Amino acid sequence: GAVVSQHPSRVICKSGTSVKIECRSLDFQATTMFWYRQFPKQSLMLMATSNEGSKATYEQGVEKDKFLINHASLTLSTLTVTSAHPEDSSFYICSAPNRGTRDYNEQFFGPGTRLTVL
């Protein structure tokens, strides 16, 4: 299979602190990973594309200095929400395509991280 994990699954923090979310591909290598954010009753919004060995590509309107992405290895990407504020409270989900599958466009999602900023 193609399994993607995320850690932590849930985090509550105070306003102004930074939070790091890890996304790991457990049984395949991922040169590319995607980070999404989802607010209640809305669809997934792509935030950025994480590229192993190079800088992340951010979608329009996403602050790269606030949402730091590091693709440290072929199995790990991290998203750090810096100086978090209540409006950053959301469900953060990562995904990765698996080159080993028939369709490299097919993406496998992590279980998500619920961030609550007080």
Partner 1 sequence: QKEVEQNSGPLSVPEGAIASLNCTYSDRVSQSFFWYRQYSGKSPELIMSIYSNGDKEDGRFTAQLNKASQYVSLLIRDSQPSDSATYLCAVVYSGSARQLTFGSGTQLTVLP
Identify which of residues 15 and 104 has a Cβ nearer to partner 1 in the complex: 104
Identify which of residues 87 and 105 has a Cβ nearer to partner 1 in the complex: 105
- Residue 94 CB, nearest approach to partner 1 (Å): 9
DSSP, collapsed to helix, strand or coil, labels residue 75 as coil
65: phi then psi, degrees, rounded to nearest 5: -80, -15
Whole-angstrom Cα Rg for the chain: 14
Q: Where are the alpha helices (DSSP H) in 11-60?
A: none
Identify which of residues 60 and 65 has a Cβ nearer to partner 1 in the complex: 60
Interface ranges with partner 1 (CB under 8 A): 32, 34, 42-44, 46, 49, 57, 91, 93, 95, 97, 103-112, 114
- Residue 109 CB, nearest approach to partner 1 (Å): 4
Identify which of residues 32 and 82 has a Cβ nearer to partner 1 in the complex: 32
Which amino acid would we find at residue 110?
G
- Residue 44 CB, nearest approach to partner 1 (Å): 5
- Residue 100 CB, nearest approach to partner 1 (Å): 14
Give ∠ CA 4-59-50 in degrees, rounded to 5.
35
Tell whether the torsion through CA atoms of 97, 51, 86 and 45 is positive or negative.
negative
